[in-house]
């Protein structure tokens, strides 16, 4: 198997970009605020220094409860800089999900922000810290923080006091993501080489070039978000815009060097924000590859399907036909699906009616070099050399949020009296959760009080309305 970017640290890539691109734009938020590479490097160094003062043992887990945006990127890079494991978590999660995730990850510190809509994330962080024994350091950006929350400064003006890093310097800490499991979530650790393999594949599939702009509505709390947005940004040294959600007002400036990334169902909505043509558009599939196929109005030079197999694979495949979702090849998959001359980032096969994988992007901690990993996805063979995929029966994907079906239903029924819980196909989210109750307002409040995400609580409706919707 061809080697894929060995012995290169993500942090070293960023330092190289900061040294080379200085006053060029590195990060841009939907609110119009942007940071140059120098400002971003200063902020990363300052936050890393503050993390170091916590005195945590090497490779401690630091969870990030931050919306997609500049604070998340800076905090993630700062955690890597300080030699710890970063675990981004969805801001849609509430207390119960966060407690379970922090316990699973053995989180020692949690970084959040007071600069997020009307949500009081710092107060939520203190509540989580009271229930998780290992979590000793709740921290936050912003002002007016609750007692017990350590303030973090995002200072972009102070020059970092850091030795220049060699591009060959390598981190062994990594970035963790969480996938749904029966009774909670499981932590999947991704080392730099694995992330680079997945990100290189995405970069080549979308023909992302030096200095290009990446606009992503996919959370960095998923392997697909890291592979399709963060790593290609580090490799191309361009500008990264992370969207906390799909913009409802205003416009985003797109041009022919822009690459758009969104869930498969949401991509047309994102692309419609601007009529300008873009270099590429990435449709991320979190539950199978048949949810949405055609994008007749999409004005993009290249269309890429990113197939997310839980938190072990994020396979970027350029479409050969605009009206058909890319099929997953069986056998060796080369970076960018570019052929025998490019590195092999993954191998696939069918065994016992399941898709199995191994290769450079598969987390090394999940297997040794000779094993195949069961993905749980069911392959639907097409011509003997490629497949479409059906998700595992226990997986429910609501956009980028994923749940274990049995676990989610148990938690819903434990929180309140409901008539039924089921999911229906939805062209935007992939699936739509339906919860029926004779008293929907009370059931919604009970689910929120039990710590379930708003996306789940807002799915409650009267039984009559649900029957009409299905019909």
Task: Please state the length of the chain.
Answer: 471
CA distance 227 to 208: 13
Spans of the chain below 50 pLDDT:
1-2, 162-168, 291, 466-471
Structure tokens that stand for 228 in this block: 């399709």
Domain chopping of the chain, boundaries: 25-186, 191-392, 395-470
Distance CA 216, CA 204 (A): 17
CATH architecture assignment, domain 395-470: 2-Layer Sandwich (3.30)
pLDDT at 334: 87
Contact 377, 357 (CB under 8 A): no
Distance CA 312, CA 319 (A): 22
Measured CA to CA, the distance from residue 298 to residue 276 in angstroms comes to 10
User: What pLDDT is recorded for position 2?
Assistant: 46
Between CA 192 and CA 155 the distance in angstroms is: 27
Close Cβ partners of 435 (under 8 Å, ≥ 6 residues apart): 412, 418, 420, 421, 443, 447, 456, 459, 460, 461
Provide the pLDDT for residue 288. 73
- pLDDT, residue 191, reads 93
Q: If DSSP codes are grouped into helix, strand and coil, which group holds residue 186?
A: strand
Give the 3-state secondary structure of residue 431: strand
**What pTM was estimated for this model as a whole?**
0.87
- Sign of CA pseudo-dihedral 78, 80, 84, 89: positive
Helix, strand, coil shares of the chain as percentages rounded to 5? 30, 30, 45
Q: What's the CATH fold of domain 191-392?
A: Rossmann fold (3.40.50)
Number of helices and strands in the chain (H, E): 13, 27
Cβ atoms of 80 and 172 closer than 8 Å: no
The class that CATH gives domain 25-186 is alpha beta
Check if 25-186 and 191-392 are the same fold: yes
Can you read off the two tokens belonging to residue 16?
């190289």
List Cβ neighbours of 279 (8 Å cut-off, separation of 6 or more): 206, 207, 208, 212, 256, 257, 258, 259, 300, 301, 302
Residue corresponding to tokens 């120098």: 38
| CA-closest candidate to residue 90, choices 315, 404, 424, 401 | 401
The pLDDT, as a whole number, for residue 413 is 85
């Amino acid at each position: 198997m061809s080697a894929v970017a060995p012995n290169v640290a993500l942090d070293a890539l960023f330092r190289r970009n900061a040294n080379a691109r200085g006053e060029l734009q590195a990060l841009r938020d939907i609110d119009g605020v942007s940071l140059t590479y120098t400002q971003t490097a200063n902020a990363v160094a300052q936050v890393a220094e503050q993390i170091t003062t916590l005195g945590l043992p090497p490779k401690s887990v630091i969870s990030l409860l931050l919306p997609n945006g500049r604070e998340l990127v800076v905090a993630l890079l700062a955690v890597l800089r300080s030699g710890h494991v970063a675990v981004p978590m969805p801001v849609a999660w509430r207390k119960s999900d966060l407690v379970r995730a922090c316990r699973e990850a053995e989180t020692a510190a949690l970084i959040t922000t007071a600069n997020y809509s009307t949500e009081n994330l710092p107060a939520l962080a203190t509540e989580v810290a009271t229930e998780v024994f290992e979590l000793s350091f709740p921290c936050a950006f912003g002002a007016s923080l609750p007692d017990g929350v350590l303030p973090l400064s995002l200072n972009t003006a102070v020059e970092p006091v850091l030795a220049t890093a060699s591009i060959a310097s390598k981190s062994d800490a990594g970035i963790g993501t969480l996938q749904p499991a029966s009774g909670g979530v499981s932590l999947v650790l991704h080392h730099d080489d694995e992330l680079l393999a997945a990100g290189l594949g995405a970069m080549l599939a979308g023909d992302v070039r030096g200095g290009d702009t990446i606009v992503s509505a996919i959370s960095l709390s998923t392997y697909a978000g890291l592979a399709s947005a963060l790593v290609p940004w580090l490799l191309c040294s361009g500008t990264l815009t992370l969207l906390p959600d799909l913009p409802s007002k205003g416009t985003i400036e797109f041009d022919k060097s822009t690459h758009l990334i969104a869930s498969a169902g949401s991509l047309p909505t994102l692309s419609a924000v601007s009529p300008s043509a873009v270099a590429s558009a990435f449709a991320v599939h979190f539950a199978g590859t048949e949810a949405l196929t055609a994008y007749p109005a999409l004005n993009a030079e290249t269309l890429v399907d990113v197939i997310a197999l839980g938190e072990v694979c994020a396979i970027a495949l350029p479409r050969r036909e605009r009206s058909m979702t890319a099929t997953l090849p069986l056998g060796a998959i080369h970076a960018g699906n570019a052929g025998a001359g490019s590195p092999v980032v993954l191998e696939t096969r069918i065994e016992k009616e399941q898709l199995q994988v191994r290769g450079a992007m598969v987390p090394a901690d999940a297997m040794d070099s000779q094993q195949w990993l069961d993905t749980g996805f069911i392959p639907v063979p097409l011509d003997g050399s490629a497949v479409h995929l059906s998700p595992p029966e226990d997986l429910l994907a609501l956009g980028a949020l994923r749940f274990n079906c049995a676990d989610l239903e148990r938690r819903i029924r434990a929180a309140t009296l409901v008539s039924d819980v089921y999911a229906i196909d939805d062209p935007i989210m992939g699936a739509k959760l339906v919860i029926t109750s004779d008293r929907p307002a009370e059931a919604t409040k009970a689910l929120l009080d039990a710590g379930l995400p708003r996306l789940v609580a807002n799915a409650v409706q009267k039984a009559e309305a649900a029957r009409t919707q299905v019909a």
